[in-house]
Structure 1
Amino acid sequence: MTRKHVLDGVKVLDFTHVLAGPTCTRLMVETGADVIKVEAAPTGDMVRFMPALKDGRSGYYIQQ
Structure 2
Amino acid sequence: MTASIDHLPDSLLAIGPGLSAAEQAALARALTLAQQAYGERCLSTGETMMAHALGMALQVA
Interval containing the TM-score (normalised by the shorter chain)? under 0.3
Give the number of the structure with larger relative contact order, counting CA–CA contacts within 8 Å between residues 6 or more apart.
Answer: 2
Whichever structure has more strand as a proportion of its residues is: 1
Query: Structure 2 length as normaliser, TM-score?
Result: 0.27
| Greater Rg over alpha carbons, structure | 1
Whichever structure has more helix as a proportion of its residues is: 2
